[in-house]
Amino acid sequence: MAGGRTVGVIGAGQLARMMAQAAIPLDIRLVLLAAQPDDGAARVVRDVIVGSPDDPAKIRELADLCDVLTFDHELVDTDLMAQLEAEGHTVWPSAATMALAQNKRRQRAELAALGLPTPAFADVETPEDVIAFGTEHGWPVVLKASQGGYDGRGVWMIDRPDDVADVVDEAHAAGLALLVEQRVPLDLELAVLTARRPNGDIAIWEPVETVQRDGMCNELVVPVLAEARIVAEAVHIARKIVEYVQPVGVMAIEFFVSNGKVLINELAPRPHNSGHWTIEGSLTSQFEQHLRAVLDLPLGDTALTAPVIATENLLGPASGADPTQALGAALTIRGSHVHFYGKGARAGRKLGHVTVLGADRDETRQRASLAIHQLTGEHKA
């Protein structure tokens, strides 16, 4: 066992795959619970248990092999995690942190109770709740599933009262609890990536601007193009949230900026899409930092390695072509760092990302976009 440090990861997607890269120089052994033997991380990690992340027997098998359990997604059984904790297993983030992350209603209510800024919101039990909220706060409104949504799934934009009943009835028929939020006008969206170890030490990276397309984060740019006041406020709020939640490991906090005001969107206690830029753009990547934190090792320096960092997600082209076949063309773009996630090509599927470093914001973003174009043959809309 490498230095006595073995980390079990529930999930074997791209986050676990990039965690594995960070584990190698630190001689940390990873053991994965992969749903399929060809999952992205399972293709590059030696020690893999194949089984459902919902299978208690498989999770216990993993826990018995490891010093600490962690996750590459939030869709885990928090009751089982709490049971493992009670039996003496180390689980980071904790079952309590994961339960909060899974429940958007709780997130909103608890953060608002702390006096932290969020969009106006309300729980939804009936279509009339949504209509009353829209009447008070204005249309359109945003309807969200309290649990299970990501990358734009479980989110509905409701333009008028006549559209409410069908959506609410369909969601309730699927067993979803709902909340409704004010649809705020957006100046921009940003995220603050944080890390905390069990002793309470906290590290925070430079905030990153997140550019959304079709409900999915498509591009990351550091630094955020906004007033210093806004950037400082986002960091201040992020620190307050971390001090309240007390997560262990990396936690991303997503924000809206609306009419110059910073509003909390949601929390994700794990390495996160908004932190992929840190692999090349920070002295310590989010993946290395997460491993340090869950093993209670000293946290690393989060300073930037360049004045500007731009990351763009690689989505499968409409043609269905495999972008790995165009790797050579992408690598001709100066400073391009290409990351493939080990997934089969499919139109619209998130297959990887490209990061470039530079000194000029526009030029750096253009190089990232050009590398993506070389991989897909498609121009950004």
Query: What is 107-170 written as a DSSP string?
Result: HHHHHHHTT-----EEEESSHHHHHHHHHHH-SSEEEEESSS--TTTTEEEE-SGGGHHHHHHH
pLDDT score recorded for residue 106? 93
Query: Is residue 137 located within the same domain as residue 174?
Result: yes
Is 312 contained in some domain? Answer: yes
Contact status, residue 189 vs residue 255, Cβ threshold 8 Å: yes
Is 298 contained in some domain? Answer: no
Pairing of strands 121-124, 208-213: unpaired
Structural domain of 143: 120-182
Contact status, residue 274 vs residue 254, Cβ threshold 8 Å: yes
pLDDT score recorded for residue 181? 94
- Compute the radius of gyration of the chain from its Cα atoms: 21
Question: Domain ends where: 163, 182, 201?
Answer: 182
Phi/psi region, residue 186 (left: phi>0; alpha: psi -120 to 50; beta: rest), is: beta
Query: Is residue 252 located within the same domain as residue 199?
Result: yes
Cis before 140 (ω within 30): yes
pLDDT score recorded for residue 216? 80
Residue 342 sits in a domain whose CATH number is 3.30.470.20
Query: Is residue 284 located within the same domain as residue 189?
Result: yes
Q: How far apart are CA 357 and CA 40, in angstroms?
A: 26
Q: Please give the C-alpha separations between residue 219 and each of 161, 311, 342, in angstroms, as whole numbers.
A: 33, 6, 20
Residues β-bridged to residue 313:
353
Q: Which of 288, 297, 286 is closest to 194 using CA atoms?
A: 286
Q: Based on the structure, what is the number of domains in the chain?
A: 4
Pairing of strands 68-71, 6-10: parallel
Query: Is residue 282 located within the same domain as residue 310?
Result: no
Is 370 contained in some domain? Answer: yes
pLDDT score recorded for residue 153? 63
Is 372 contained in some domain? Answer: yes
Answer positive or negative: Cα dihedral of 295, 299, 305, 311: positive
121-167 pLDDT, tens digit each: 999 999 999 999 999 999 999 999 988 654 456 889 999 898 899 89
Question: Domain ends where: 288, 318, 346?
Answer: 288
**DSSP three-state, residue 268:** strand
pLDDT score recorded for residue 149? 54
Q: Please give the C-alpha separations between residue 73 and each of 233, 245, 247, 269, in angstroms, as whole numbers.
A: 28, 18, 15, 9
Q: In one letter, which amino acid is 194?
A: T
pTM equals: 0.94
Q: Which long-range contacts (CB under 8 A, 24 or more apart) does 325-333 make?
A: 326/374, 326/375, 326/376, 326/377, 327/375, 329/374, 329/375, 330/354, 330/371, 330/372, 330/374, 330/375, 332/374, 333/367, 333/370, 333/371, 333/374
Query: Is residue 175 located within the same domain as residue 205?
Result: no
Is 97 contained in some domain? Answer: no
Query: Is residue 135 located within the same domain as residue 163?
Result: yes
Q: How far apart are CA 69 and CA 71, in angstroms?
A: 7
Query: Is residue 67 located within the same domain as residue 151?
Result: no
Total number of residues shown for the chain: 381
Query: Is residue 284 located within the same domain as residue 190?
Result: yes
Query: Is residue 378 located within the same domain as residue 326?
Result: yes
Answer positive or negative: Cα dihedral of 324, 328, 329, 331: positive
Is 55 contained in some domain? Answer: yes
Is 33 contained in some domain? Answer: yes
Which residues of the chain have a pLDDT value below 50?
1-2, 150-151
pLDDT score recorded for residue 381? 57
Burial of residue 362, with CB atoms counted within 10 A of its CB: 0-12 exposed, 13-18 middle, 19 or more buried: exposed
Query: Is residue 212 located within the same domain as residue 174?
Result: no
Which residues fall within 8 angstroms of residue 295, CB to CB, at 6 or more apart?
Answer: 5, 7, 28, 67, 68
Q: How far apart are CA 269 and CA 272, in angstroms?
A: 8
Is 273 contained in some domain? Answer: yes
Q: Which two tokens stand for residue 254?
A: 């997503």
Pairing of strands 178-182, 141-145: antiparallel
Q: Which of 273, 281, 190 is closest to 15 using CA atoms?
A: 273
Residue 172 sits in a domain whose CATH number is 3.30.1490.20
Query: Is residue 213 located within the same domain as residue 255?
Result: yes
Q: Which of 284, 197, 288 is closest to 247 using CA atoms?
A: 197
pLDDT score recorded for residue 190? 97
Query: Is residue 176 located within the same domain as residue 197?
Result: no
Question: Domain ends where: 91, 111, 130?
Answer: 91
**pLDDT, averaged across the chain:** 93
